[in-house]
Structure 1
Amino acid sequence: MKKAYSFLLVLIISQFVGCIDPLDLKTGKGTESLVVDGLITNEPGPYTVKLSLSEPYTAYAGNASSFVRRATVIISDDKGNSETLTEIKPGTYTTSGNNLQGQIGNTYTLTVKTREGQEYTSAPELLAPVPDITNLYPEVQEQKILNASGNEVSVYNVAVYVDTPDPAEQKNYYLWQWEGVHRVNTQPWNYCEKVRGKCIPMPKDCCETCWLTVFTNSINVKDDRLINGRQLKKHLVTQIPVTPRTFESKYYLEVKQLSVSETAYDYWSMLKTQLSSVGNVQDPPPAAIAGNMRNVNNPEDKPYGYFGASAVVKKVIFIRREELGINPGELIFPDDCRVLMNSTTEKPAFW
């Protein structure tokens, strides 16, 4: 039987606070390894680096021992600038936000010194420029599926695409991240709880209206090998399901387009392939994917994860319910809207 290990491995975009989705990989190793997750961009900080340890599959997923605490974490560039990050919670380290800022053309390195005396460093990462997003646009798409009764029904998604000009004078590698926000209206006054098979009314005083945030949930990368110097057209960024919950009124979507190095592109591409493959018991165990970190004194100790440097451009659109051409229906949810994931009653400034 394959021995599995799980670790948190996600690219943090500096402005996407909390945009974390756990990605489970089988590492095939019998010892704990350092897991690094960090990014510096040309946007204002703070920048975040997360440190943890890969865990055996028998470990409790929330085990606090998986966090690497009290490490010395330093981001430095090739111009002699550096900053030591502060641990703001177990395993999470950030810059001050008003000291070091990524600059296009500079090269950045991450150094980690653990309290056990191990020292790790990343390969230098060039912060390369990224072209603007020229167009960001939605397209409603219909899909036929079979429902629980075996009847064919239509479901709808909003596919969101980007167009961008690809510079001809260099190799370009792209990564996309996004953040969506939508409003919901629920019915807390209709809340009830089942008691001996009966739903006993227990109305709640709050809350009816919330805004929900949805974050990037997949790896989306592309190179310019086939389109070098031409327009990158109609690249799919995400698909938003058309449901009563997502389109109560309108959907706010912010898309970020990042430049990444060739090494980072290869890393994320391999990780995407491994995560998207559908395996069975006859498949060979997935191989561990090496990142760009190394142990200075022990080449056999190979950390997981990646420290990257990227330029960022972003574009925002609102997708309105009345523009869909279909009726998503009304949301029936007899409970406090705050029980929904990533919800808040505070109206966003952009709404």
Structure 2
Amino acid sequence: MLRKFLYLLIILPLASCIEPYSVTVEEGAQLLTVDGMITSGPGPHLIKLTRSDTYGSVFEGLIRPVGNATVIIRDDLGQVTFLSENVEDRGIYATPADFSATVGRTYTLQIQTIDGKVYTSLPERVESVPEIKDIDLKVIKIAVEGETLERSGVQLIAEFDDPSDQNNFYFWKTGESTFVLKTRPDLYTPRPSDTNTSRDPQPKDCCITCYKTEQLGNEGIYLAQDDNFNGLSTSAAAGFIEDDGNRFVDTYRTDLKQFSVSQEAYRFLRLVKQQTEISGSVFDPPPANIRGNMISLDDPEEVVLGYFIAAGEISKRVYIDGNQLDYRQPEVIIPDDCREVEGAQLEPPLDWNP
């Protein structure tokens, strides 16, 4: 008992000598991020300006739009195009609808924020881009850990003739898409409310078939350079449309856009692609310091994120018949009038021509 008492006397003085260590963390910088592209395709073309706070800020993790800035695009002939800000979506600046970049011209983005700071991009030259000869389709299945049902979707494969007289760097995106949406209004059951407590189905007379238009986000970044196929006919994976149980019930339409970007833009996009595909494995590449082509004219040491891209653009439309796919997700039943689905309408687009 005496031995335990002595141990206690020794421990208590030691504990009383510990003082809390105060850590002061420097507040993170607010970083301007520029995300935008102009192309030789039809406008308007959009530039998005945001400012993000890093650790130490009460707005940690918040991305805020940068509004009321003056944004212009200047070409190598001195022609200036002013962009206007979207009044409903702050921080989004658009060129006039009739503006398109010209192949062979060089463009610079210039920004002046409301506090007077001035930023500029390095010059970006618009390169020519070959036509897409055809678009092949391939169903891709993706295993999901812990799930019995695989994810799936349609991969778009672009076929084109790479020109031999230049070194090309390619980038692909899908444009606005429309598909036939089918629902089950005969299964409609209203939600219980103060005036209606019934859980019985109350079928609607209309409507079963609509056309839904959507703007898909990129399912990955699709890039290629012609080091291995310069001057040859080739094909490359150019996009992926996930099957959500509705898109491929009938017919799906999308526009595949093929861009010819500068070598510097390709490098930036490739680094972004590497970072987005990091899986957490010990074999992953170390995080890269991805610097874009934007600089501050007031403080060259200021870090500005993002990249201003000027590119040649060509697009090709493809209709996908869901009945011809060798695998589809189980249909997701929507028990309501199809017109109640956001982005859906009864009439197809005027240029709908499967």
| Cα separation, partners in 2 of 1:307 and 1:338, compared to 1, 3 Å | farther
Residue equivalent to 1:183: 180
- Correspondence 1:303 to 2:324: no
1: CA distance between counterparts of 2:76 and 2:36?
A: 18
1:157-181 CA distances to partner (integer Å, 9 max, x unpaired)? Answer: 4332111111112110000001332
3-state SS of the aligned residue for 1:193?
coil
Residue equivalent to 2:5: none
1: CA distance between counterparts of 2:265 and 2:94?
A: 21
Residue equivalent to 2:93: 93
Residue equivalent to 1:6: none
Please point out which of 23, 40, 43 is paired with 2:41.
43
Residue equivalent to 2:8: none
CA positional deviation for 1:299: 1.2
CA positional deviation for 1:224: 0.9
2: CA distance between counterparts of 1:268 and 1:330?
A: 35
Residue equivalent to 1:160: 156
Larger Rg: 2
1:293-322 CA distances to partner (integer Å, 9 max, x unpaired)? Answer: 000120111211111111111111111133
| Cα separation, partners in 2 of 1:76 and 1:210, compared to 1, 3 Å | same
Residue equivalent to 2:15: none
3-state SS of the aligned residue for 2:228?
coil
CA positional deviation for 1:244: 4.0
Q: Which moved more, 1:139-148 or 1:114-123?
A: 139-148
2: CA distance between counterparts of 1:262 and 1:93?
A: 25
1: CA distance between counterparts of 2:333 and 2:347?
A: 21
2: CA distance between counterparts of 1:143 and 1:97?
A: 39
2: CA distance between counterparts of 1:303 and 1:194?
A: 52
1:74-105 CA distances to partner (integer Å, 9 max, x unpaired)? Answer: 1010011111211123111112223x431100
2: CA distance between counterparts of 1:59 and 1:166?
A: 47
Residue equivalent to 1:238: 239
CA positional deviation for 1:260: 0.4
| Cα separation, partners in 2 of 1:187 and 1:53, compared to 1, 3 Å | same
3-state SS of the aligned residue for 1:225?
helix
CA positional deviation for 1:200: 2.3
3-state SS of the aligned residue for 2:273?
helix
CA positional deviation for 1:347: 2.5
- Check whether the contact 2:159–2:233 (CA below 8 A) recurs between aligned residues: yes
Q: Quick one: percent identity of the two aligned structures?
A: 32
Residue equivalent to 2:107: 108
Residue equivalent to 1:249: 250
Output aligned runs, 1:1-351, within 5 Å. 30-56=28-54, 59=59, 66-89=64-87, 90-98=90-98, 100-140=99-139, 148=147, 157-179=153-175, 180-189=177-186, 190-193=188-191, 200-201=199-200, 203=202, 208=208, 209-217=210-218, 218-233=220-235, 235-242=236-243, 244-279=245-280, 286-325=287-326, 330-337=331-338, 340=341, 342-345=343-346, 347-351=348-352
- Check whether the contact 2:143–2:150 (CA below 8 A) recurs between aligned residues: yes
After superposition, the CA RMSD in angstroms is 3.3
Amino acid at match of 1:176: W
Amino acid at match of 1:307: F
- Check whether the contact 2:120–2:294 (CA below 8 A) recurs between aligned residues: yes
- Check whether the contact 1:185–1:331 (CA below 8 A) recurs between aligned residues: no
What TM-score, normalized by structure 2, do the two folds share? 0.77
2: CA distance between counterparts of 1:117 and 1:248?
A: 53
- Check whether the contact 1:184–1:337 (CA below 8 A) recurs between aligned residues: yes
Q: Which moved more, 1:262-271 or 1:334-343?
A: 334-343
| Cα separation, partners in 2 of 1:339 and 1:175, compared to 1, 3 Å | farther
1: CA distance between counterparts of 2:59 and 2:281?
A: 23
3-state SS of the aligned residue for 1:85?
strand
CA positional deviation for 1:135: 1.4
1: CA distance between counterparts of 2:266 and 2:285?
A: 24
| Cα separation, partners in 2 of 1:339 and 1:276, compared to 1, 3 Å | farther
CA positional deviation for 1:46: 2.0
2: CA distance between counterparts of 1:30 and 1:75?
A: 30
Amino acid at match of 2:165: E
Amino acid at match of 1:160: L
What TM-score, normalized by structure 1, do the two folds share? 0.78
| Cα separation, partners in 2 of 1:61 and 1:67, compared to 1, 3 Å | same
Name stretches of at least 5 consecutive residues in structure 1 with no aligned partner.
1-28
| Cα separation, partners in 2 of 1:40 and 1:158, compared to 1, 3 Å | closer
| Cα separation, partners in 2 of 1:329 and 1:199, compared to 1, 3 Å | farther
